[in-house]
């Protein structure tokens, strides 16, 4: 079977609207060709992100009703804390309203000028939080991660030789090493347990804390279950517990694998560090038993964490993403291979091989996707990660120019995926009509959210 039927039936529906090409053309102009600026009711299939866009289950909605909204000591917090402890094993749990707040709390506490945070690949908010605190964010992915079409497993892994060399040379200036599972910025590729074990061993040897950015840990554990020797007979929660047992702590944007629309946490073994974080939390988010969330949100996370690990769900979830990827690949469109856990990444350098990196081939493709088919994807390339070299004034491009089609969880059906694949296949025939772009406005940090661009005619 190419695609297993959804392991749920649909109880509530939300209308989506087809717009005309003219309408989309006008909206693009108003948006400065930035799809972040398009109102969502003018989008037919929204694949901008899988973050906070999932559909909650009837159990989670029922959980909202019993949310305890007490300011301090809410029983929903204790349920949330128990769930996080049960899955991760870390005793000190701090809720945050989303992942980047956990990053802010952590990095504003441990970073300073001259310090380096090492990751397999930092996600953009992770990198920004490190850099805003004057430290360096160093990515050490395996070299296979830079070869988008190489269909090898575990391309999310960290290069352990480079990790060891960096730890040897600079141990005192490395306050933390983080493994992002799955590796979102490198194509949503999974990390093997072997690699996690290896990174953990090195960090222990050099006395450096090792954390997991576990936004998509359940999808990562599913890949371990399916493809890593010795894990077929284990349950997802057993694999997750082993994964976390190799680390000193983790943070999570619960908006992904915990199947909620808002929520996150940071959890760890170190009581000293755990005591320092809430000082800022109280200042910017709220009391440490709600961390910027409502009690009902904590309930939804506590339930969603377990639903996100159900094997029927994970099998359907990864198969749906692979179904879209396979349709594109079969039509001759270059995508990052193998297909990762939450998204299909189109190789925009190959799709728009007539557009150079400084003319934003990935953004140009997102514009075309919206204009032609009302589909919203996101660029992960020169706009998100490129910059100008201050010395030469030349554009420094990242290794990959990608467009991510992130699939919201339990939201779109297979027919929607077929629509997306067929629309892109149609566009591919006329791909050389896609125009290069130039920036007309950029903000100093995370510029891709608010940038404005125009077509170079
Ligand atoms: N870490 C990873 C790996 C992420 O993918 C994200 C968010 C964050 C941290 C930050 O979490 O959004 O809850 O503050 N990723 C979203 C995405 C935004 O579209 O991939 P957040």
Q: Are residues 111 and 201 in the same domain?
A: yes
- Gap from CA of 22 to ligand 1 centroid (Å): 33
Q: Are residues 292 and 330 in the same domain?
A: no
What pLDDT does residue 1 have?
58
Q: Are residues 93 and 69 in the same domain?
A: yes
Using the predicted structure, report yes or no on whether residue 61 has a pLDDT greater than 80. Answer: yes
Rounded to an integer, the average pLDDT of 419-429 is 98
CATH number (domain holding residue 418): 3.90.1150.10
Per-residue pLDDT band for 444 (boundaries 50, 70, 90) equals: confident
What pLDDT does residue 4 have?
83
Indicate whether 15 belongs to any domain: no
Q: Are residues 322 and 293 in the same domain?
A: no
Indicate whether 16 belongs to any domain: no
What pLDDT does residue 452 have?
97
Alpha-carbon Rg for the chain, nearest whole angstrom, is 21
**How do residues 192-201 score in pLDDT, each as one tens digit?**
999 999 999 9
Q: Are residues 78 and 222 in the same domain?
A: yes
- Gap from CA of 216 to ligand 1 centroid (Å): 9
Q: Are residues 339 and 293 in the same domain?
A: no
- Gap from CA of 52 to ligand 1 centroid (Å): 9
SS (H, E, C) the chain: CCCCCCCCCCCCCCCCCCCCHHHHHHHHHHCCCCHHHCCHHHCCEECCCCCCCCCCCHHHHHHHHCCCCCCCCCHHHHHHHHHHHHHHCCCEEEEECCHHHHHHHHHHHHCCCCCEEEECCCCHHHHHHHHHCCCEEEECECHHHHCCCCCCCCCCCECHHHHHHHHHHHHHHCCEEEEECCEHHHCCECCCHHHHHHHHHHHHHHCCCEEEECCCHHHHHHHHHHHCCCCCCCCHHHHHHHHHHCCCEEEEECCCCCCCCCCEEEEECCHHHHHHHHHHHHHHCCCCCCCCCCHHHHHHHHHHHHHCCCHHHHHHHHHHHHHHHHHHHHCCCCECCCCCCCEEEEEHHHHCCCCCHHHCHHHHHHHHHHHHHCEECEEECHHHHCEECCCCCCEECCCCCEEEEECCCCCCCHHHHHHHHHHHHHHHHCHHHCCCEEEEECCCCCHHHCCEEEECC
Are residues 2 and 13 in contact, defined by beta-carbon separation less than 8 angstroms?
no
The more confident residue out of 174 and 5 is 174
Domain that holds residue 70: 58-307
Indicate whether 159 belongs to any domain: yes
Output the CA angle 51-350-46, nearest 5 degrees.
Answer: 25
Q: Are residues 244 and 384 in the same domain?
A: no
* Residue to probe by mutation, ligand 1, list 215, 257, 264, most atoms within 8 Å of CB: 215
Indicate whether 333 belongs to any domain: yes
Q: Are residues 301 and 323 in the same domain?
A: no
Indicate whether 235 belongs to any domain: yes
Q: Are residues 113 and 163 in the same domain?
A: yes
Indicate whether 8 belongs to any domain: no
Rounded to an integer, the average pLDDT of 13-31 is 97
Q: Are residues 39 and 186 in the same domain?
A: no
**How do residues 239-268 score in pLDDT, each as one tens digit?**
999 999 999 999 999 999 999 999 999 999
What pLDDT does residue 109 have?
96
Using the predicted structure, report yes or no on whether residue 2 has a pLDDT greater than 80. Answer: no
**How do residues 287-302 score in pLDDT, each as one tens digit?**
999 999 999 999 999 9
Q: Which protein residue has the closest C-alpha to ligand 1 atom 18?
A: 51
pTM of the model: 0.95
Q: Please report the atom of ligand 1 found closest to the CA of residue 102.
A: 14
- Listed residues 257, 276, 307: the one ending a domain: 307
Using the predicted structure, report yes or no on whether residue 316 has a pLDDT greater than 70. Answer: yes
By percentage, how much of the chain surpasses pLDDT 90?
94
What pLDDT does residue 64 have?
97
Using the predicted structure, report yes or no on whether residue 236 has a pLDDT greater than 70. Answer: yes
- Gap from CA of 50 to ligand 1 centroid (Å): 9
* Residue to probe by mutation, ligand 1, list 54, 101, 123, 126, most atoms within 8 Å of CB: 123
- Listed residues 284, 307, 330: the one ending a domain: 307
Using the predicted structure, report yes or no on whether residue 335 has a pLDDT greater than 70. Answer: yes
CATH number (domain holding residue 188): 3.40.640.10
**How do residues 147-187 score in pLDDT, each as one tens digit?**
888 999 999 999 999 999 999 999 999 999 999 999 998 88
Q: Are residues 45 and 118 in the same domain?
A: no
- Gap from CA of 371 to ligand 1 centroid (Å): 26
Q: Are residues 103 and 43 in the same domain?
A: no
CA distances in angstroms from 145 to 34, 125, 180, 258, 337, listed in the order given: 27, 20, 13, 26, 10
What pLDDT does residue 55 have?
98
Ligand 1 cavity residues, CB under 6 Å: 49, 51, 98-100, 123, 125-126, 180, 184, 213, 215, 253, 255, 264
Q: Please report the atom of ligand 1 found closest to the CA of residue 48.
A: 19
Cα(253)–Cα(5) distance, integer angstroms: 28
- Listed residues 267, 290, 307: the one ending a domain: 307
Residues catalogued as catalytic: 71, 123-124, 213, 215, 256, 448
Q: How many domains does the chain have?
A: 2
* Residue to probe by mutation, ligand 1, list 50, 99, 250, most atoms within 8 Å of CB: 99
């Amino acid at each position: 079977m190419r695609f297993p039927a959804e392991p749920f039936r649909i109880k509530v529906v939300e209308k989506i609207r087809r717009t005309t090409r003219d309408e989309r053309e006008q909206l693009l102009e108003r948006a400065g060709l930035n799809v972040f600026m398009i109102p969502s009711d003018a989008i037919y299939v929204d694949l901008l992100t899988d973050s906070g866009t999932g559909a909650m289950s009837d159990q989670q909605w029922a959980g909202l009703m019993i949310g305890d909204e007490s300011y301090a000591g809410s029983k929903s917090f204790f349920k949330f804390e128990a769930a996080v402890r049960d899955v991760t094993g870390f005793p000190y749990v701090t809720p945050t309203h989303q992942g980047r707040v956990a990053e802010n709390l952590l990095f504003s506490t441990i970073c300073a000028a001259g310090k380096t945070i090492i990751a397999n690949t930092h996600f953009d908010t992770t990198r920004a939080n490190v850099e805003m605190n004057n430290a360096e964010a160093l990515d050490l992915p395996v070299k296979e991660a830079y070869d988008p079409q190489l269909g090898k497993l575990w391309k999310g892994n960290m290069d352990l030789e480079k990790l060891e060399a960096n730890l040897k040379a600079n141990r005192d200036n490395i306050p933390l090493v983080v493994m992002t599972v799955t590796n979102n910025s490198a194509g949503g590729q999974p990390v093997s347990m072997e690699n996690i074990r290896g990174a953990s061993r090195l960090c222990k040897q050099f006395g450096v804390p090792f954390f997991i950015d576990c936004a998509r840990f359940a999808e990562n554990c599913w890949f371990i279950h399916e493809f890593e020797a010795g894990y077929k007979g284990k349950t997802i929660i057993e694999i997750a517990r082993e994964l976390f047992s190799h680390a000193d702590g983790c943070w999570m944007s619960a908006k992904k694998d915990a199947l909620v629309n808002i929520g996150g946490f940071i959890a760890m073994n170190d009581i000293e560090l755990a005591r320092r974080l809430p000082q800022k939390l109280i200042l910017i988010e709220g009391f440490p038993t709600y961390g910027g969330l409502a009690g009902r949100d904590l309930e939804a996370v506590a339930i969603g964490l377990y639903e996100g690990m159900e094997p029927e769900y994970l099998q359907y979830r990864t198969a749906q993403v692979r179904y879209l990827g396979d349709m594109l690949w079969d039509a001759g469109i270059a995508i990052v291979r193998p297909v990762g856990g939450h998204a299909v990444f189109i190789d925009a350098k190959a799709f728009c091989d007539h557009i150079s990196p400084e003319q934003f081939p990935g953004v140009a493709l997102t514009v075309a996707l919206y204009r032609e088919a009302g589909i919203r994807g996101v660029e992960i390339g020169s706009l998100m990660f490129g910059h100008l070299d201050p010395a030469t004034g030349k554009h420094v491009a990242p290794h990959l120019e990608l467009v991510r089609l992130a699939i919201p969880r339990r939201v779109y059906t297979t027919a929607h995926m077929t629509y997306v694949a067929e629309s892109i296949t149609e566009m591919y025939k006329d791909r050389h009509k896609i125009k290069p772009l130039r920036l007309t406005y950029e903000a100093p940090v995370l510029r891709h959210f608010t940038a404005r661009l125009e077509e170079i005619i």
